[in-house]
Structure 1
Amino acid sequence: MTRHKQAVEKATKSINQVKEEVGTNQWRLKYHVSSPAYWINDPNGFSFYNGEYHLFYQHHPYSAKWGPMHWGHVKSKDLTFWEHLPVALAPSEEYDKDGCFSGSAIEKEGKLYLMYTGHKWTGDNHDTDLEQVQCLAVSEDGVNFEKLANNPVIGAAPVGDIHPHHIRDPKVWKRGDDYYCVIGNKTKDEVGQVLLYRSHDLIEWEFVNVVAKGEGNFGFMWECPDIFDLDGHDVLVMSPQGMEPEDYLYHNLHQSGYVIGELDYESGKLDHGSFELLDYGFDFYAPQTTIDDQGRRVMVAWMAMWESDMPEQEFNWAGAMTLPRQLFIQDGKIISKPMPEVEKLRNELTAYENVIFEGKKVLGGVSGDCIELDVVIDAKDASLFGLKLRVNEEKGEETVVRYDLAEGFLTLDRNKSGKGLDGIRQAPVELKDNELHLRIFMDQSSVEIFVNGGEKVMTSRIYPGQASTGVEFFAEGTVSIKSLKKWSLNESVGCEPVHSKSLSEI
């Protein structure tokens, strides 16, 4: 048995020892991907292979804190019901002895290849004393992976203004007869940038160019880059570290967003526009995309943030993935919508139309901790309106979503959301015909808010008590709940599909 196989089996055994106990925790998510136990962060290797979606993730299988990174693994036929698989990658070789860091996946000749960053520490200072190289592992079945004997396939950093050690997170794709990958990096004087490489066979790689580099307030390191074609445009997604707050923007420790432009594959330069956020909430980082057999560009991200409180760590788990989201370009910007397959989770519809009120309104049957809300609110003559989620008046718990017409901002307020977390986030939102459309997904310890058809999204972890299940509407002035649909949602991670009515069947 290889060293790698032994390390994988040891990691999988560690998870299995505690997963049943972890599964009983009140904050365990029911339809969002997380590991059966212990720590996870960035999504990795998101791919469509042999008719199934494969999603890997950064994983420490020995504690609920960040540690030597492994790759956890789930797969799905529909992006909704997910099956847990054994750990895919574990540190086992000299070049990756301190971690199999983030990367991506691609199919070649019927096999699934994982391209990842091999990481090792060379001293005590974790900012300066490290080596990072790019490596490959391959699988015949999409489950069991072996590292290539000639790893690393990309060793030392290129010459130039390229930091030699912070060089990680390869995202690989094929164009014509060639393979390309982008890798996150920074300059020697701490400016984030992305490197472009090209290969004929995935094994021998040549450096092409610095494809894009930060200017102004654009961070000291760009992590988890991803380049893809969307609706005829080239999109670069990345996660800049170290952007300074500007007004309502960039208040998370690190950000995730994109630029749209045109990539010259010969020169290796991306001519692009301004940086835009992909999510305006608290907990969204390191997004990665794939394209499926229907030609859809699908994105998933880590639903957490570095150095934030994670109350679930006390119960031997930490971190989760967002709902998969389909990306489109509309009016020169990306919009993101939940994948339509999520409708399979719906049951127990409660619906209302044209509910006019001022002050406070509670509607029968509209409550819960694992639900979807689809609501259109006509502002009428109100100056401010919104709704409170996961309400428990006795405990003083609530998560507040409010819209201020004078300011033109949607605010997500988790100052009373339960244990561990607080703060507000804001997104500029324009009403459409004086109406606000919200599609809200709540799980046991998360909320995702899709605004006006995905023009903006706000994602957050929250940790309320089990009895905090109320939903309450409020307004200063008169508003109309033009339409409201509420569904309870079934569990879908690590369990068999349960048939539910989709929207088209209701």
Structure 2
Amino acid sequence: MNYGPIRIGSLHAPSGTIDDTGRYLGIFNVKEGRDRRGWNDIMSLPRHYWLADDNTLRMAPVPELEGQRFDGVQVPAQEIAANSEQLLEKVSGQAIEIEAVIEPGDAREVGLTVLRSPDGAEQTRISFYASLQDRRANPGWLQIDTSQSSLADDVHGRPPEQGPLAIAADEALHLRIFIDRSIIEVFANDKQCLTLRAGRTARA
């Protein structure tokens, strides 16, 4: 949820409630990532939290968000060679939801690049790093890297946001990525969620 250094962590001021169906819902204030003006923060998406049968914390975006979907695009399954990337020309936009299922196999890193400008000068990398050792004892890591996200002078540089994510060797990586202009929220396997602001300047 918030794994960055304390002074530049991405989230603060959490609020939680239990709704009339018994769900525990949480929402956060997302830090701007620019020079503060005192009024320009933004709220995260509402999240549903629950305990799994093994007493681990689980989290997911509330299903009510699915009512905001329209003009969906489906990309056929494809195999991507190591150390290569595949541009998805039909997938674009600054306010989109991406649902992706990735089978990492033996890969040490898999991921997606989002909010990519046409020339690639601005881009944000979402990655999963598999554990280099026994995955049952050493979880992998989910990461959002905004080091190349913006050419704007007033956007503060910061280390990548990382959070532990344990998945089995034969388990697929299920990502739900929500992008709304500058804000990026990544949910993974109902086990992890990371949020960052990108501050992108490109409009295409």
Q: Give the TM-score range, shorter chain.
A: 0.7 to 0.9
Structure 1 vs Structure 2 CA RMSD: 2.3
SS at match of 1:341: helix
Match of residue 353 from structure 1: 76
Match of residue 459 from structure 1: 195
SS at match of 2:71: strand
Match of residue 135 from structure 2: none
Note closer, same or farther for the CA distance 1:329–1:410 as it changes in structure 2 (3 Å cut).
Answer: same
Deviations 1:82-118 (A, max 9, x none): xxxxxxxxxxxxxxxxxxxxxxxxxxxxxxxxxxxxx
Note closer, same or farther for the CA distance 1:348–1:310 as it changes in structure 2 (3 Å cut).
Answer: farther
Match of residue 411 from structure 1: 143
Q: 2:129, 2:25 → 1: CA distance?
A: 32
Asked whether 1:253 is paired with 2:7, we answer yes
Amino acid at match of 1:396: A
Of 425, 446, 464, the residue aligned with 2:161 is 425
Amino acid at match of 1:403: F
Instruction: Flag structure 1 segments of 5+ consecutive residues without an equivalent.
Output: 1-238, 240-248, 255-281, 469-506
Q: What does 1:68-467 correspond to in 2, within 5 Å?
A: 249=3, 251-253=5-7, 282-304=9-31, 308-310=33-35, 313=37, 317-330=39-52, 331-358=54-81, 359-394=84-119, 396-407=121-132, 408-418=140-150, 419=152, 420-422=155-157, 423-432=159-168, 433-453=170-190, 455-467=191-203
Note closer, same or farther for the CA distance 1:464–1:250 as it changes in structure 2 (3 Å cut).
Answer: closer
SS at match of 1:442: strand
Note closer, same or farther for the CA distance 1:342–1:444 as it changes in structure 2 (3 Å cut).
Answer: same
What's the CA shift for 1:251? 1.3
| Structure 1 length-normalised TM | 0.35
Contact 1:415–1:421 under 8 Å retained in 2: no
Task: Give identity over the alignment, percent.
Answer: 28
Higher strand share goes to which structure? 1
Q: 1:341, 1:389 → 2: CA distance?
A: 24
Structure number with greater Rg is 1
Note closer, same or farther for the CA distance 1:445–1:387 as it changes in structure 2 (3 Å cut).
Answer: same
Note closer, same or farther for the CA distance 1:434–1:390 as it changes in structure 2 (3 Å cut).
Answer: same
- Give the number of aligned pairs: 188
Q: 1:291, 1:298 → 2: CA distance?
A: 6
Contact 1:440–1:449 under 8 Å retained in 2: yes
Q: 1:400, 1:465 → 2: CA distance?
A: 16
* Greater RCO, CA 8 A, separation 6+: 2
Instruction: Flag structure 2 segments of 5+ consecutive residues without an equivalent.
Output: 133-139
Amino acid at match of 1:367: S
Contact 2:161–2:196 under 8 Å retained in 1: no
Contact 1:414–1:421 under 8 Å retained in 2: no
What's the CA shift for 1:412? 1.2
Contact 2:117–2:202 under 8 Å retained in 1: no
SS at match of 2:201: coil
SS at match of 2:66: helix
